[in-house]
Amino acid sequence: MFEPDILPSSKAKVVKGGYLGKWGLWWIPIYCANCGADGGSVPEETCNFAFYLCPPCYEKWGLTAGLMAEPETVFWHRVNQEMESKYGRVLTPQELMTIIDADSSPLASLLKEGATILKGV
């Protein structure tokens, strides 16, 4: 089965700068995922993932980047595949919490791994 490569994040691991902007949210800078050029800002609180290519890098890498996927999308695809193969359906949030609490299945491990993915590491 084909799994796409994961897009890199354009958010800095250590945020320097930022400002209080629209809607009272704290906005942080993002950068070109290839060369590090300024890419504007995103609201820190509501943006789990950001990917940006500056125009020159887009001309060079845009088609390649189009074959990649957001980490969250790949994560949920893997979770849904595991649920379908083991249970034959998508589980409810309550059922997923029970599985995480039991901590004894590949699905529980995958869900725990996802906690770091969804935080935008």
Over residues 33-61, the pLDDT tens digits come to 999 999 999 998 888 889 999 999 999 88
Cα–Cα dist 29/11, whole Å: 7
Residue 95 has pLDDT above 60, yes or no: yes
pTM for this model (two decimals): 0.62
Residue 4 has pLDDT above 80, yes or no: no
> Would strands 19-20 and 26-31 be described as parallel, antiparallel, or unpaired?
antiparallel
Q: What pLDDT does residue 119 have? A: 53
Percent of the chain with pLDDT strictly greater than 70: 93
Backbone dihedral region for residue 103 (phi beyond 0: left; psi -120 to 50: alpha; all else: beta): left
